[in-house]
């Protein structure tokens, strides 16, 4: 079975440039999460969607960050303009709700390693 697919796997760009990260969740999953992982802060939740609707974006660091989910099989995380401190590994994860009181695990992609020079 196909897992969560992220692209690109690596991105190196100069500060000030726009960066777009992409994610295809597991088919049938109705939740999608964007995380950032750094040595300093560990794994941080940035934003999550339910049925393509953003539910909580309180983890998005600044207005330079935006995320969209135009349909159930695709989401993007955009940084514009990018800064060196945005360098991190960005993960996308998806899960199936299984009903309000039936917890289900999140399944992660292999991430995008972003380096802003």
Site residues (vs other proteins, CB under 8 A): 4, 31, 33, 38-43, 45, 48, 50, 55-56, 91, 93, 95, 97, 100-101, 103, 105-111
Pick 2 or 100: Cβ nearer other proteins: 100
> Could you give the CA distance from residue 112 to residue 70 in angstroms, rounded to a whole number?
20
Pick 70 or 101: Cβ nearer other proteins: 101
Pair of tokens at residue 39: 């040595």
Pick 65 or 90: Cβ nearer other proteins: 90
Q: Assign 71 to helix, strand or coil.
A: strand
**Min separation Cβ 74 and other proteins, Å:** 18
């Amino acid at each position: 079975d196909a897992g969560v697919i992220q692209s690109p796997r690596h991105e190196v760009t100069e500060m000030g440039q726009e960066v777009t990260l992409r994610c295809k969740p597991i088919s049938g999953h109705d939740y999608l999460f964007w995380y950032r992982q750094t040595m300093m802060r560990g794994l941080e939740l940035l934003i999550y969607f339910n049925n393509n609707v953003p539910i909580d974006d309180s983890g998005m660091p600044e207005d330079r960050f935006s995320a969209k989910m135009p349909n159930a099989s695709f989401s993007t995380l955009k940084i514009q303009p990018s800064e060196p401190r945005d360098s991190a590994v960005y993960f996308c994860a998806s899960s199936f709700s299984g009903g309000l009181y039936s917890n289900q695990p999140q399944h992660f992609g292999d991430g995008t390693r972003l380096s802003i020079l």
